[in-house]
Structure 1
Amino acid sequence: MNRSGCHAHAIRKGAVLAGCTALVLALTGTAAQARDGARDHARDLARQTLPANDGWASHGTGTTGGAAADAEHVYTVTTWDGFKAALAAGGSAPKIIKVKGTLDAAAGGCDAFAVPGYDFDAYLEKYAPEKWGLDTDLSGEPADSPEGLRRASAARQEQAVKANVPANTTIIGVGRGAGFKGASLQIKGVDNVIVRNLTFESPLDCFPQWDPTDGSKGNWNSEYDSAVVYGSTHVWLDHNTFTDGEHPDSAAPTYFGMLYQQHDGQLDVVRGADHVTASWNVFADHDKTILIGNSDGESAAAVDRGHLKVTFHHNLFENLVERAPRVRFGQVDSYNNHFVADASYSYSFGIGKESRLVAEHNAFTLPEGISPAKILKKWSEAPVTAAHNRVNGRTVDLIAVHNAEIPQETLQSGAGWTPTLRTTVHPAKAVPAIVGHGAGAGRLR
């Protein structure tokens, strides 16, 4: 008997011959379908994994997100409530969440979060510096005070707009125009997460807190980053767009002589998080953009030392004020990024406590009157490597120009380590065109 189950002498009978032929064709078709299915699976953007050697997130076990999800753990969501339900379903089993359209976490507006009795005008009246002063913070205010009612309202917003991402998850936008408005993704205490092809409009804090003791004049402080990587490992953020959207800081009012700041960061990597790659994203139109490590204090140092390893490559940083990123403790590799500044520019790289930043093969486009010396900002004594960077089309030694123009903040050259987890490194002169063509949501191929 042959492998198809047809006897050799049966080929004399036409009916049997036809049956054998059909069986062979069926088997051939099944194999072809299997091959086509495998190819389709490989082409499925939702199942793509981080390539080998692609930044710190490829270290060790690498980053696969929900690529191994079975059919029962693949979700397509069109509402914020549906998205949060999909996150909660199935625990930490591999899952893929496909986002269609813009999911609004604060569709009801700020009034929907305010508790009965909260009145912003009453808040301004009670805590005006000429009445309250600048020596006492508001932490001791009772629950029925304007500050207490503000805290209660803020707690309602926090519950609504934060979404906890479990381990082994891929979140990906479907086509163009997918993303979040007013939402804060919390990638907290988990491993193996992928976030791709999404537009994040920065969440608007409806209830910023006035802190009279913050600085010499007091300040407004807000909550809610667009995405937070907190104590998590192996996280890949790719082809996303982060922006302030309809609520730029330039349109914000002033109270007590200070900007009424309703935005926090676009991306924070904090509290011992490790092995993160951010590639081909757009970070635009924001003030305090990215924080690596959130404190100089010893409690933070005990958690962060030896961690906070992050790679940034082929990102566009456009019209930002500062923190692209500001770094504490971590070994951060930033290469092949394009930084485009406007008149509000303060700095790009913040050199913070015990940081080990390597910034190479990047391109900077600065407006007239802004010196390349401002690209690096020294916050603490820490070494930095900055080589092969170009500013307005010319190769510039960023450390040398900084030290020459800002001698009171002299930087040490040489971060003390050499990045090895890189894929293609383009010459800095090619970076503006390459990043301009490929970075951001809707350009994932």
Structure 2
Amino acid sequence: MRLHPILLRAPAALLCAALVACSQQQEADPEPSDPPVGADAEQSEADESSPPPEEESEVPVGWVTEVPADSGDEEDEPSRAPEDRAGTGGGATDPVTATDADELADHLETDGPVVVELDGGIDLDGDVQVPSDTTLLGAEEGTELTGGRLVLEGADNVVLNGLAFDTDGTAVAVRDGSRNVWVHRSTFTGGDDGALIEVADGADHVTVSWSRFQEASSALTVGDADDEPGALHVSVHHNHFDGTSGNHPRARNAAHVHVFNNYFRSNADHGVESAHDSNVLVEGNYFQDAEQSVRPAGEDPGNTVARDNLLVDTPQPEIRGEVPDPPYDYELDPATEVPDLIGDGAGVPG
């Protein structure tokens, strides 16, 4: 499945000069022959008579699509089937609108699935708890969240889509065994006090995709030194880490972190780090003017595998151990095309 249309074919010379594992590019398509006389008119008539194609809705890719194993306590398991709860949030529930923190809190206290569209600038005024089976959507006119963070504690099946955060600390905290979480097409700014997104404390099966991180010392952390092994399956793909210093992500005690097709630019500290026996696969990314690309931690290192990454004014990755491929289906975009894909597609649309 293709995540985004190809917008630009980069020169073959750039690929072969900087790609860690350089592969032969496909031959250019031959010049098309001239259409037969009258073809344009026939095609125009066909276009007028045919309805326009339906726009394909986005679907999650990555670990959020792989349903975690049941807890073993059937009484605590949701009544819906597992395949119906991975990365769907509030599903097809009719959306409601929140224009301030009080309205948002009221909507999130209702029973059952909920889809909330956040309209305009909202001061969260502290921590806002996000329950299971919830979708939070940014409005087409724009949504900016300030003054707090979204906290998922033991939540199952949450989608955060099209949200812009301007914060001095963490914007989204996924913890306490939360799972099936999809953060998509959002923009994160600030965050000098803590990572912009934190995934820890047994959280599992999380995907962070097509989002933009900027003006922060720490972008994304997965796991903590105290996390128990076995959880923290996280996918990080098609994000733009624009000038953020480090933690893209930093993984600790993570069972599997898959970092692919991200655009790293001007990162003063490091790109991806694996610690405390984490397993981190890094592939098809574009690193530009980064202090480090991929590395195991100096103390308590984890495993790192890097392949098909493009490095521009960036040191080579440091490899350690072995990391298995993920079990889900995904299609890797060529690293040469990542800057244009991400530049046009990552973050809040518009």
In structure 1, the residue matched to 2:275 is 352
> By percentage of residues, which structure has more helix?
1
1:324 aligns with 2:289: no
Higher relative contact order (CA 8 A, sep 6+): 2
In structure 2, the residue matched to 1:18 is none
1:398 aligns with 2:344: no
1:277 aligns with 2:207: yes
What does 1:289-438 align with in structure 2 at a 5 Å threshold? Answer: 289-295=219-225, 297=226, 300-301=227-228, 305-330=229-254, 331-341=256-266, 345-366=268-289, 370=291, 372=292, 375-378=294-297, 379-392=299-312, 397-399=316-318, 411-415=319-323, 417-438=324-345
Q: 2:216 aligns with which of 249, 272, 286?
A: 286
In structure 1, the residue matched to 2:156 is 191
**Aligned equivalents of 1:436 and 1:234: distance in 2?**
27
Q: How does the TM-score come out when normalised to structure 2?
A: 0.74
CA drift of 1:291 comes to 1.3
What does 1:50-65 align with in structure 2 at a 5 Å threshold? Answer: 50-51=59-60, 54-60=61-67, 61=83, 62-65=86-89
CA drift of 1:424 comes to 2.6
Q: Secondary structure at the match of 1:380?
A: coil
Q: Report if the CA contact (8 A) 1:49-1:64 is conserved.
A: no
Q: Report if the CA contact (8 A) 2:87-2:157 is conserved.
A: yes
CA drift of 1:85 comes to 1.4
In structure 2, relative to structure 1, the CA distance for the partners of 1:289 and 1:387 (3 Å cut) is: same
Q: Report if the CA contact (8 A) 2:296-2:303 is conserved.
A: no
Structure 2: segments with no counterpart, 5+ residues = 1-51, 68-82
1:96 aligns with 2:123: no
Q: Which residue identity is paired with 1:279?
A: S
Q: Secondary structure at the match of 2:349?
A: coil
Give CA deviations for 1:102-141 in whole Å, capped at 9, x if unaligned: 10124xxxxxxxxxxxxxxxxxxxxxxxxxxxxxxxxxxx
**Aligned equivalents of 2:232 and 2:164: distance in 1?**
24
In structure 2, the residue matched to 1:143 is none
Q: Which residue identity is paired with 2:216?
A: H
Give CA deviations for 1:3-29 in whole Å, capped at 9, x if unaligned: xxxxxxxxxxxxxxxxxxxxxxxxxxx
Q: Report if the CA contact (8 A) 2:245-2:269 is conserved.
A: yes
Q: Which has the larger radius of gyration?
A: 1
**Aligned equivalents of 2:121 and 2:224: distance in 1?**
30
Q: Report if the CA contact (8 A) 1:239-1:439 is conserved.
A: yes
In structure 2, relative to structure 1, the CA distance for the partners of 1:424 and 1:176 (3 Å cut) is: farther
Q: Which residue identity is paired with 2:237?
A: H
Q: Which residue identity is paired with 1:356?
A: N
**Aligned equivalents of 1:68 and 1:434: distance in 2?**
29
The count of corresponding residues between Structure 1 and Structure 2 is 279
In structure 2, relative to structure 1, the CA distance for the partners of 1:49 and 1:235 (3 Å cut) is: farther
CA RMSD of aligned residues (A): 2.4
Q: 2:108 aligns with which of 71, 87, 97?
A: 87
CA drift of 1:307 comes to 0.6
Q: Percent identity?
A: 28
In structure 2, relative to structure 1, the CA distance for the partners of 1:182 and 1:422 (3 Å cut) is: farther
**Aligned equivalents of 1:235 and 1:422: distance in 2?**
18
Q: Report if the CA contact (8 A) 1:364-1:391 is conserved.
A: yes
Spell out structure 1 runs of 4+ moving beyond 6 A. none
CA drift of 1:384 comes to 1.0
Give CA deviations for 1:84-110 in whole Å, capped at 9, x if unaligned: 11111x22x11100011110124xxxx
In structure 1, the residue matched to 2:124 is 105
CA drift of 1:75 comes to 1.2
> By percentage of residues, which structure has more strand?
2
CA drift of 1:393 comes to 8.2
Q: Report if the CA contact (8 A) 1:388-1:397 is conserved.
A: no
